[in-house]
């Protein structure tokens, strides 16, 4: 893939997902009007600058960077993305989009490579449902240019045949586990091993990103706190990647990520309705 082609594609993806860092929120918005959005830059070899209007939001946004979730007021945002070699005062942006953000959303938007190495955008709903005492939630998202993989914890496969750009999740015992990623159905380790501290009452999201062909596969971990089942549990506790209220639908105007996120939100709502019906 040429530098120009990848530059344009990555900028297009980040032009949508950069909404998570917008500081120029509409005035007078209440806390209930805000969303919590994180951005993960998972495309190797490309650094970009992100602007809202004429204001620089994320200078030198490097691959492997996961922003902290930020409260984002509902509203419209004019986003511009430039390759870091560009001059925003004289060069046209590689991409410019108006993004509509609704209230109450909780999501992470990832710019990453598809299984065959093409930059793309995927929006994921972050599950902030409570977990039982002594438990932790583990989610793995395959956002790497790589074939299907198995994810192991302490040498035992916990998620099998995970493909890009999908995720698998489960509730596990809290504690530190040694995790690695293997090619599906084999013991050939592609990433890791790495120690993952899964604290009680947290949701731990592991991104497998990079490119197998370019030999730069890696893991990135996002930890959401505040999922304790006790009444005293605190929502969205402190941490590098804290999160807020439960996920809702996130509409990204003109974005391919909109359908992915809406589908995720619908599936989550349907699972909760089915579970509620079975308890009656």
The residue with greater pLDDT, 229 or 144, is 144
Report residue 65 as tokens: 């960077």
Mapping DSSP to helix (H, G, I), strand (E, B) and coil, where does residue 18 land? helix
pLDDT over threshold 60, residue 198: yes
Indicate the domain borders of the chain.
1-125+249-280, 127-244
pLDDT at 257: 39
Under a CB-based contact definition with an 8 Å cutoff, are residues 48 and 84 in contact? yes
pLDDT at 14: 41
Under a CB-based contact definition with an 8 Å cutoff, are residues 136 and 171 in contact? yes
Query: Mean of the per-residue pLDDT values for the chain?
Result: 73
pLDDT over threshold 70, residue 17: no
Report residue 235 as tokens: 């929502």
CA distance 221 to 203: 10
In this structure, CATH architecture of domain 127-244 = Sandwich (2.60)
Report residue 19 as tokens: 């909404």
Q: What is the pLDDT of residues 58-97, one digit of tens each?
A: 789 899 999 888 777 766 666 666 778 889 889 987 656 5
pLDDT over threshold 70, residue 20: no
CA distance 18 to 41: 10
List strand residue ranges (DSSP E) for 148-188, in order: 149-153, 156-162, 167-173, 175-183
Token pair 């209230």: residue: 103
Percent of the chain beyond pLDDT 70? 64
What confidence category does residue 12 fall into, taking pLDDT thresholds of 50, 70 and 90?
Answer: very low
Give the max Cα distance, the chain.
Answer: 64
pLDDT over threshold 90, residue 48: no
CA distance 169 to 175: 16
C-alpha distance across the termini of the chain, in Å:
55
pLDDT at 254: 34
Neighbours of 279 (CB within 10 A): 5
């Amino acid at each position: 893939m040429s530098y120009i082609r990848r530059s344009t594609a990555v900028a297009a993806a980040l032009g949508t997902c950069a909404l998570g860092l917008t500081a120029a929120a509409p005035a007078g918005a209440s806390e209930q009007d805000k969303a919590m959005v994180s951005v993960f830059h998972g495309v190797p070899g490309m650094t970009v600058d992100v602007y809202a209007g004429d204001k620089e939001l994320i200078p030198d946004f490097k691959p492997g960077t996961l922003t902290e979730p930020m409260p984002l007021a509902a509203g419209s945002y004019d986003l511009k993305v430039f390759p870091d070699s560009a001059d925003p005062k004289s060069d046209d942006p590689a991409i410019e989009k108006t993004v509509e953000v609704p209230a109450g959303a909780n999501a992470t938007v990832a710019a990453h490579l598809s299984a065959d190495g093409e930059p793309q955008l995927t929006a994921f709903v972050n599950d902030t449902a409570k977990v039982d005492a002594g438990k932790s939630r583990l989610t793995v998202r395959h956002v790497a240019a790589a074939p299907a993989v198995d994810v192991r914890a302490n040498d035992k496969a916990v998620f099998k045949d995970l493909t890009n750009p999908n995720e698998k999740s489960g509730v596990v015992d809290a504690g530190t586990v040694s995790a690695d990623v293997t090619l599906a159905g084999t013991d050939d380790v592609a990433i890791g091993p790495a120690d993952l501290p899964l604290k009680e009452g947290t949701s731990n999201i592991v991104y497998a990103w990079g490119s197998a062909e370019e030999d730069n596969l890696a893991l990135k971990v996002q930890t959401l706190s505040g999922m304790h089942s006790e009444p005293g549990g605190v929502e969205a506790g402190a941490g590098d990647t804290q999160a807020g209220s439960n996920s809702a639908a996130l509409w990204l105007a003109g974005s391919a990520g909109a359908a992915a996120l809406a589908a995720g939100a619908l599936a989550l709502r349907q699972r909760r309705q089915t579970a509620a019906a079975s308890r009656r």
